[in-house]
Amino acid sequence: MYYQSTRSAERVTDTAAVLRGIAPDGGLYIDPELEKRPFDWQGCLSLRPLGMAEKILNHLLPGYADMHSLVERAYAGKFDTPELTPLVKVGEDYVLELFHGPTAAFKDVALSMLPQLVTAARGQEGVSDRIVILTATSGDTGKAALEGFHDVDGTGILVFYPADGVSPVQKAQMVTQAGANVKVCAVRGNFDDCQTGVKRAFAAINGSGALNEQGRRLSSANSINIGRLAPQVVYYFIAYARLVEQGAIACGERVDYVVPTGNFGDILAGYFARLMGLPVGRLVCASNANRILTDFLTTGVYDKRREFLKTTSPSMDILVSSNLERLLYLALDGDTARVAELMRQLSENGVYRLDGVALEKIQTVFSAGCCDERQSRETIGRVWKELGYLCDPHTAVAMQVAQEYKKARTGQTPLVVLSTASPYKFPAAVLTAIGGDRSGDEFEQMERLAALTGVPIPKGLQGLKERPVLHEDVIDREDLLDYVLCQASVL
């Protein structure tokens, strides 16, 4: 099976697509036949999570020789529940908890799997070069990628994060990461500066072959890599299977999903599940105050020429949502020239417009809403006080948008909110929202939050303050390419 670039006729095998991460033309790899290839989605529902993951990933990435072993190595014993992503009833709706992995964020589901996919692809493709994973993070991807790739044979990993754009807990998780093959660096700028710099580094280095003599080649752990996106499809099936199992729905009934997202990968995985046959109803895109995706999905205009807002939900503080490019490709029926032109307009002018049939096709599936800082804070407090459920600011954004969506929709379709991070990754914001004392640093706040609520601190976050800082580099965004060239040659 072949994956194709969203911007040209460039085609490669699925294993090669995972190794490359991004196409040479800057496009993202996608399966152009996904909707046409039959998949036994109903047969998936009776499987346990690891079996479900194996079946789904075999469908999305059929070129892998032994997906069973890869899934076992990725997940067995690494999450604090065998369910991987348990479904919890909160009020009249459901919350899919995606934060039970080693770094307490939803990225663990994909980034526990990606190192297995990369190393297996390296062997199957006969690649002797060392694979250097180049990653930009708005907070959670970085630590999850570091956790997955540290000391993995044949790989190195280089993570960039915005110097003032992640929470203290997220920063501590990254800068204390041990491993002979890891490097973490702060960038003076925001996440979009990191992400744009990484994309430009890919283009410059792959175009010039600058690392060839060092026996290095670049790949990515961001959701621009199809090997990172594919595992995220699994938890939509897990949620649906649990609803059927609990008698909340009959098999075949539709379910709506509300997803807090900035880079659009988490919600796009739900669309992939729908294309595979899962009865996904509407996919509701929940944005924070940066609201660029809400504006696009409601108007068709994507305009990044706006103020960048720093919020208490930093993983959504994004103005360039890379994975939206894959949705454009699908909505435009594979018109790569049109996708390439829209991406050129975004790069050069900061704006593009989608209209006509393509926009209508998107709007038949996707809804959108946004939540500002006040609403997020009030939602955390209300949900804790009225429902006894403690949520982080990203989940609060989705919960608020879910309530507004339910007021506007017709019908009573069951609704699942995706919860993307533990509240302990953002203790200051959560304590403020529930009326707790937020004095001291975030590590003291975690302890106080646990004492106040009785909700245990995730194992991966315990003792974080005592770990030594191992990564202190800070660079200007203009220096990112030179830094990559310097570090990648020795990782």
Active site residues: 107
DSSP summary character for residue 115: H
Q: Would you say the C-alpha torsion 57, 86, 145, 74 has a positive or negative sign?
A: negative
> Which tokens in the block code for residue 57?
């990933």
Burial (CB < 10 A; 0-12, 13-18, 19+), residue 9, is exposed
Entry field: residues in the chain: 491
Cα distance between residue 350 and residue 362, in whole Å: 21
DSSP summary character for residue 251: T
In 392-470, alpha helices (H):
393-408, 427-434, 442-453
In 209-335, alpha helices (H):
226-229, 234-245, 265-275, 292-299, 324-331
Angle at the Cα of 45 (from 33 to 81), degrees rounded to 5?
A: 110
- 257: which strand partners? 283, 416
- 370: which strand partners? 287
Question: Tokens 């309530």, residue?
Answer: 403
Cβ 315 vs Cβ 420: under 8 Å: yes
Phi-psi region of 344 (alpha: psi -120 to 50; beta: other; left: phi over 0): alpha
With CA atoms as reference, report the closest residue to 110 among 406, 262, 118: 118
